[in-house]
Every structure is written in structure tokens, then in C-alpha cells.
């Protein structure tokens, strides 16, 4: 048998003073002899009681956890119910057989039926008869593709009349990823149409305001350029004016010579008169004078056309044109009104053409060159460099100044309306914004960066036209 004190006892749970309490419980219960006499039977009962305590503790713990999960579930259900109730759009949840499982108050209000009466009904029964095939198709496509949007269907209202809605249908899945049914959300079509109508009206007003803004900026820029344009016009007009004066004098001499011939003057006397009136010199000079006059008139006409394009308040059709002449015209207009002397270095190949609205390119260049001059205000030797190179199907036209460059915090806002770093009264901050929009309108792009050698460089990417050069 061995000594009782040497017998190995079963392991005990860590519950202080528990054995003494268990022994007392066994003694009071009078069951000490049920599992045997003496200390061995008593120890067996103690072990049974301790295991029961452990099971009870686990049950209590599980009960607490279950109550916590139940409270969370009730909270989630309350949240879902509040969402269902507060939705203005109609909503229905269907099972795998396309039968109604849940609906919200908005759908109850439209149909005039409570959720209890709708539960288990085919979803298609909510719609007008002529929509049955379209409803089945929507549900089938949602099951196959996962989601279907913008289906125009007519729900039957409380009177049974069709009420048009725009429906969106999405598949739903259970915790194992298996298809469990669909969720359908709809909004009255009339409400959407009203919203779209208001949106379109606001968009039209915005477009009109933008066009007025562009035209106002054009007129403001044209006002600043009047002196330069006048100087540009003055040269060819003065040339034509001088040539016409010369032609008038030549005309009087030729008339005198012809009248002498009609009066019968001949021989030496006619030859002397011809020499005196310098008829031979007039005949040699008259063709160059006419060519020069025609060239001056053509140049004046081109300037007027540039002015008309620049100030036109209408959409201009893109065309192929040589870039160099437009660059030179824009530079001349801006430079002629500058308060200080500046150098403009133009490196644009002759014959390089682009496909774009000529007036828009002219306006963009005027804005960029003017900005370059403003950036170098106070510089005793301002220099603007303009060059162009081909880049695939585009022409990259760059306008660079030698000013302080663009600050990092201003780079992101450079093309926003009314953003300007100029003093009050020096600009509205619309030039770059409008130039950016004009470039986008004809498929171009306007970008800005700081040049590695200092100053800012603006790059205007233009669709390339036909090459007219040699």
C-alpha cells in the first residue's frame, strides 16, 4: 500500500485554499464514502468538484462573451434599421430566388405596402407588367457581372400607376463568398432629370461667364497693346503714304509729257522735255514703287486681321500656319509698349507650321511674353528667349525669361484663376489661366518650369502642321 504521505495526488488548479473548502463541502454533503473510504475517496470528490468549478467558470465567461456579441449584434441591427429608414432612395434586398427579403420605408411609401406583406414576393411584382423582362434581365446581369447601373424601370405606385425610377442593382454574398441575392437601390427619374437640368443650366452659365471673362481679358490686353499695334501699323502705312506721294508726282510728270506729245512736240524738243521730266527714271522706278505699296498695304491688312482674330469673341477654326510670323508679331506688339529696352531672341525655324487657331496662339504668346517682361521688371538688361522644336506630332514652343523664377508654393497655383504675384493694380491673374484653357481647347498643352540656369520657361505644345520650308 505504501505510506499515505508518499502517495502522488492529482494536479490541482491554482485556486488558493480550494482543497480545504472542497473537503468541507464533501463533509457537509455526506458523500465521503461514495467513492471509497478514507482520504482517496475524498480526493476524488475534490477533483470532481474542481472540474465542475472550472466548467462553471468557462460557462460564465462564455455567457459574458455571448452577451457582448449579442449587444454588438443588436447595435449593428439598430444601425442597419436606421439606415434603411433614413434612406430617401428606395431599397430592396432579395434572396437567391429574387424574392423580397427586406425593403425600406421609401419603397413602402411608393408602393403603399408594408414590408411584412412584401416579404417573399417576387421582386418583379413591384414593377409595371411591361418591365417584367427588363427586371429579370437586370437581376440576371447583376448575378453574373456583380453590378448593373442606370436601369430605367417603372415601379407601381399606391394607385397601381407606373412611376419611373433609375435602378442600380448589386449582387450580395454570404460569409463563404457564395451568391446570396441582390440589393436594389432606385431614385425617381423626375428628381434626377431636375438635378441634371439644374446642373446643365449651371454649366451653361459657367461657360458663358468664362467666355465673357476671356473676352474681357482680351480687351484689357488689347488696351495695353494699343501703342504697340499703332506702331506696327504706322510703318506700312507710312511706307504706302510716301510711295503714293511719289507716284502722284510721277503721274503729273507723265501727264505733262503725254500732253506735249498730243500738242505735236517732237524731235529734239520732246527729247529735251523727256530728260527734264526724268521720264526714263520714272519708268524704272514705278514698278518697285507699286510693289512696295502693295507690300505695305498687305502688311497693314495682316495686322488688321491679327487684331480681328485677337479680339474676336467667337470660336476660331484651327488652320495650318507658319509659326515664326505669329511669334514675331506678338513679340513686336508687346515690346513696342515696354517702358525699358529689352532684347528678344527668337529661334524659330522658318517654315515650321502648326495646326491651331491663329488668334488663340497669338493671344497666348502675348500673355507669355508680357509675363516674361513683368518678371524681369527692374532688370537693366532684360532678355527673352523664344525657340521652337519638333517633338513627335507636336511642336514645343518655349518662352524663357531671366527673372527670379517661380516660387515652389506658386507652381501648383500658377494656372488657377486670379492667382498673381504682381502688385495690386498690375494684373488680375487671368492671363495664364485663360492661356492654359485656350491651349487645351485646340488639343495643345501649356506647362511651366524653372530653367536650370535661372528664370522661368513656359512650354506651349502645339499640334504640328505641314512643313512649308525647304
State pLDDT tens for residues 337-381.
665 677 899 999 998 999 998 888 888 898 899 888 888 887 888
Domain 316-470 has what CATH class? alpha beta
Tell me the C-alpha distance between 336 and 345, whole Å: 15
Query: In the chain, what is the straight-line distance between the N-terminal and C-terminal CA atoms, in Å?
Result: 123
pLDDT in tens, 35-89: 555 566 667 767 777 788 888 888 888 888 888 888 888 887 777 777 777 788 9
pLDDT at residue number 458 = 94
pLDDT at residue number 134 = 94
Confidence of residue 188 (pLDDT cuts 50, 70, 90): confident
Q: What is the mean pLDDT of the chain?
A: 80
Region class of 264: left (phi > 0), else alpha (psi between -120 and 50), else beta: left
**Mean pLDDT value of segment 317-335:** 87
Return the domain boundaries, the chain. Answer: 4-81, 316-470
pLDDT at residue number 10 = 44
pLDDT at residue number 148 = 93
Confidence of residue 214 (pLDDT cuts 50, 70, 90): low
pLDDT surpassing 50 at residue 301: yes
Is the Cβ–Cβ distance between 91 and 114 less than 8 Å?
no
pLDDT surpassing 90 at residue 335: no
Confidence of residue 22 (pLDDT cuts 50, 70, 90): low
pLDDT at residue number 131 = 92
Tell me the C-alpha distance between 319 and 169, whole Å: 48
Confidence of residue 19 (pLDDT cuts 50, 70, 90): very low
* Residues in contact with 111: Cβ distance below 8 Å, sequence separation at least 6, in sequence order: 118, 126, 155, 156, 157, 158
pLDDT surpassing 80 at residue 254: yes
What is the pTM (predicted TM-score) of this model? 0.45
pLDDT in tens, 66-76: 888 888 888 87
Strands 445-450 and 394-400: unpaired
pLDDT in tens, 161-184: 998 899 999 999 998 899 999 999
Is the Cβ–Cβ distance between 413 and 436 less than 8 Å?
no
pLDDT in tens, 194-212: 777 788 888 888 878 777 7
Comparing 109-123, 264-278, 307-321, the range with the smallest average pLDDT is 307-321
Percentage, residues of the chain above pLDDT 90: 27
Amino acid at each position: 500500500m505504501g505510506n499515505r504521505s508518499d502517495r502522488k495526488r492529482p494536479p490541482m488548479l491554482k485556486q488558493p485554499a480550494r482543497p480545504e473548502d472542497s473537503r468541507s463541502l464533501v463533509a457537509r454533503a455526506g458523500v465521503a464514502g461514495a467513492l471509497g473510504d478514507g482520504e482517496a475517496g475524498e480526493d476524488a470528490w475534490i477533483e470532481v468538484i474542481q472540474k465542475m468549478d472550472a466548467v462553471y467558470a468557462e460557462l460564465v465567461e462564455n455567457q459574458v462573451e455571448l452577451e457582448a456579441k449579442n449587444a454588438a449584434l443588436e447595435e449593428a441591427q439598430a444601425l442597419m434599421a436606421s439606415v434603411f429608414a433614413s434612406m430617401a432612395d428606395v431599397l430592396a434586398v432579395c434572396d437567391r430566388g429574387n424574392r423580397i427579403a427586406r425593403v425600406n420605408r421609401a419603397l413602402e411609401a411608393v408602393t403603399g405596402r408594408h414590408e411584412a406583406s412584401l416579404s417573399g414576393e417576387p421582386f418583379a411584382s413591384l414593377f409595371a407588367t411591361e418591365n417584367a423582362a427588363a427586371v429579370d434581365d437586370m437581376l440576371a446581369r447583376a448575378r453574373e457581372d456583380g453590378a448593373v447601373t442606370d436601369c430605367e424601370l417603372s415601379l407601381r405606385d399606391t394607385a397601381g400607376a407606373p412611376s419611373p425610377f433609375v435602378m442600380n442593382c448589386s449582387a450580395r454574398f454570404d460569409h463563404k463568398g457564395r451568391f446570396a441575392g441582390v440589393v436594389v437601390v432606385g431614385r425617381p427619374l423626375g428628381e434626377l432629370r431636375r438635378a441634371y437640368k439644374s446642373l446643365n443650366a449651371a454649366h451653361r452659365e459657367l461657360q458663358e461667364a468664362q467666355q465673357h471673362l476671356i473676352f474681357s481679358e482680351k480687351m484689357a490686353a488689347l488696351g495695353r497693346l494699343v501703342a504697340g499695334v499703332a506702331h506696327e501699323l504706322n510703318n506700312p502705312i507710312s511706307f504706302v503714304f510716301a510711295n503714293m506721294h511719289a507716284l502722284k508726282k510721277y503721274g503729273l510728270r507723265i501727264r505733262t509729257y503725254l500732253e506735249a506729245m498730243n500738242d505735236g512736240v517732237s524731235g529734239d524738243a520732246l527729247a529735251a522735255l523727256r530728260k527734264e521730266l526724268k521720264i526714263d527714271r520714272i519708268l524704272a522706278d514705278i514698278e518697285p514703287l507699286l510693289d512696295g505699296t502693295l507690300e505695305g498695304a498687305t502688311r497693314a491688312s495682316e495686322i488688321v486681321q491679327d487684331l480681328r482674330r485677337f479680339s474676336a469673341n467667337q470660336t476660331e477654326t484651327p488652320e495650318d500656319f507658319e509659326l515664326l510670323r505669329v511669334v514675331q508679331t506678338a513679340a513686336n506688339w508687346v515690346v513696342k509698349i515696354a517702358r525699358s529696352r529689352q532684347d528678344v531672341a527668337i529661334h524659330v525655324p522658318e517654315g515650321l507650321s502648326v495646326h491651331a487657331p491663329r488668334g488663340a496662339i497669338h493671344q497666348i504668346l502675348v500673355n507669355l511674353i508680357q509675363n516674361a517682361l513683368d518678371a524681369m521688371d527692374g532688370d537693366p538688361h532684360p532678355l527673352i528667349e523664344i525657340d521652337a522644336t519638333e517633338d513627335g506630332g507636336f511642336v514645343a514652343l518655349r518662352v524663357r525669361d531671366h527673372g527670379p523664377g517661380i516660387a515652389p508654393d506658386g507652381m501648383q497655383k500658377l494656372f488657377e484663376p486670379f492667382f498673381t504675384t504682381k502688385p495690386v493694380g498690375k494684373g488680375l491673374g487671368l492671363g495664364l489661366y485663360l492661356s492654359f484653357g485656350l491651349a487645351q481647347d485646340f488639343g495643345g498643352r501649356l506647362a511651366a518650369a524653372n530653367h536650370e540656369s535661372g528664370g522661368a520657361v513656359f512650354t506651349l505644345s502645339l499640334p504640328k502642321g505641314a512643313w512649308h520650308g525647304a
